[in-house]
Structure 1
Amino acid sequence: MFIDRVKIFIQSGKGGNGAVSFRREKYVPNGGPDGGDGGDGGSIIFQVDPGMNTLMNFRHKKHYKAQSGEDGGKKRRHGKNGEDLIIKVPPGTIIREAETGKVMLDLTEENERKVLLPGGKGGKGNQHFATSTRQAPRYAEKGKEGQSYWVILELKVIADIGLVGFPNVGKSTLLSVISNAQPKIANYHFTTISPNLGVVKNPYGRDFVVADIPGLIEGAHKGIGLGHDFLRHVERTKILVHVVDAASLENRNPLEDVEKINHELSEYNKELLTRPQIIAANKIDIPEAEENIELLKEKFEPEGIKVVPISAATKKGIKELLIEISKLLEKEDKNPIKFKEEFELFQETKKEEVKEPFTIEKLEEHYFVVEGTGVEKMIGYTNLESEKGFAFFQKYLKERGIIKALEEKGIKEGDTVRIYDLEFEYYK
Structure 2
Amino acid sequence: MFTVLRKLTNIQNLGIIIKKRTFLSHAYYCNEVWEQRLQDPLIQKMNLDELYNELDQRYQKTKNISPVDVDIFAHAAKDDSYSDELLDLIHKLRMSAESSNTLNSTSHAVVRYLMNYEKTDQLLTVLDDRLNYGIFLEDFTANLLMDTFWKKKDFASGVRVASQLMLQEEFKHPISTRLSLLLCYKYLLNPGKWPQPLKPVESEEVKIRINYLRNPYNDEHFDLHDPFRIVGKTLMYITKNSLQDALDRSLHLVGLSLFKPELAKNLVNELKEKQVEIYSEVLKLLPGDNPIHLEIDNLKSINHDVEEALANNVKLSICANSERDISLQCQTYSKWNDERKEALEKQRIRLQTMQRLSNVEKSKKKLKEKEMLLWFFENEEQIELEIESKKAREGEQLQNTNISSMDTDESYIPPEVHKQRVP
> Smaller-chain TM-score range?
under 0.3
What is the TM-score of this pair, normalised by structure 1?
0.27
Normalized per residue, which structure has more strand? 1
What is the TM-score of this pair, normalised by structure 2?
0.28
Normalized per residue, which structure has more helix? 2
